[in-house]
Amino acid sequence: MDTLIQITAGRGPTECHWVVAKVLKAFITNLKEHKISHTILQKEQNGITAVQSVILKLSGKELDAFLIGWIGTIQWIGKSPYRKFHKRKNWFIKVQEIPQIKTLPFHEKDVKYQAMRSTGPGGQNVNKVNSAVRATHIPTGIQCVAMDSRSQHQNKKLALQRLKEQFQVHHLEQLKAQANASWEQHLRVDRGNPVRVFEGSDFKHQKKNKSYASKRQTLKNDLKNESWE
């Protein structure tokens, strides 16, 4: 069964969006090393080098064991790439699993077609013939119209293709809404126990068994200076 994963900065600042982009790259590299296939379903880009949120679909063997080292809070230790004199050095994002939602599969038998007159350029020959087609997916109410061709048969094919694309968009919006709802339940990230820590401009991964005792006071000061929200 496929697994849906969201990597998100939540309400964190732009620095956290930058961390999401870096973590996404490291995450995909790790997926390839474990021969786990992935598809990016949705990405909210913030400029060229930053990503606020990304949703991936994963499939492969031993996914649960792989995700143990990723699900939870991710910490990056380093100076802001955007604010040179900013004092904060600890930035946090979250990797979370999105529960699967039940959606109706797309069946062409659920599509209703309606012939209609084309509008726009083309002269009288266009308007006299009911060559345009409106396709409606009955279960969801999604509609698409095609009037690109003078052939009703060709417009029917185009309308169906566009309807399928809109159905996928509708599904992604549902996933996004569920991911956001899940995030709202965990606005306060557990920053005291990150599952993975990166450091420096080269985004070097620290080993999990490394002691963080020497950085506790710095972390506390960062939390006082700037809240997650």
Dump pLDDT digits (tens) for 7-53: 999 888 999 999 999 999 999 999 999 999 999 988 888 888 899 99
- The yes/no answer on whether domain 3-102+187-225 falls in CATH 3.90.1170.40 is no
Q: How far apart are CA 99 and CA 84, in angstroms?
A: 39
Give the position of tokens 């620290």: 206
Q: Which two tokens stand for residue 210?
A: 């490394």
- The yes/no answer on whether domain 108-175 falls in CATH 3.40.190.10 is no
Least confident of 105-109, 191-195, 211-215: 211-215
Q: Decide if 159 contacts 153 (C-beta within 8 A).
A: no
Q: How confident is the model at residue 228 (pLDDT cuts 50, 70, 90)?
A: very low
Give the full edge-to-edge strand order of the sheet including 90-98: 37-45, 51-59, 3-8, 90-98, 72-77, 196-199, 204-206
Q: How far apart are CA 219 and CA 228, in angstroms?
A: 13
pLDDT score at 145: 93
Determine the average pLDDT of the residues in 184-193: 58
Residue 215 DSSP code: G
The predicted-structure confidence for 44-77, as pLDDT tens digits, reads as follows: 888 888 999 998 989 998 899 999 999 999 999 9
Which residue spans within the chain are E strands per DSSP?
A: 3-8, 37-45, 51-59, 72-77, 90-98, 111-116, 132-137, 142-146, 196-199, 204-206
Q: Which two tokens stand for residue 16?
A: 């956290």
Q: The pTM is what?
A: 0.63
Length of the chain: 229
Please give the share of the chain, as a percent, with pLDDT higher than 90. 45
Q: How confident is the model at residue 191 (pLDDT cuts 50, 70, 90)?
A: low
Determine the average pLDDT of the residues in 95-108: 79
All CATH 3.30.70.1660 domain ranges in the chain, comma separated: 3-102+187-225
Determine the average pLDDT of the residues in 191-219: 70
What radius of gyration do the chain's Cα atoms show?
Answer: 24
Distance of CA 54 to the CA centre of its chain: 3
- Nearest Cα residue to 185 out of 34, 1, 4, 10: 10
pLDDT score at 212: 43
pLDDT score at 121: 54
All CATH 3.30.160.20 domain ranges in the chain, comma separated: 108-175
Dihedral sign of CA atoms 172, 177, 178, 179 in order: positive
Least confident of 119-133, 152-166, 186-200: 119-133
* DSSP helix/strand/coil, 171: helix
CB contact set of 123 (below 8 Å; sequence gap of 6+):
none
Q: How far apart are CA 80 and CA 86, in angstroms?
A: 7
pLDDT score at 209: 47
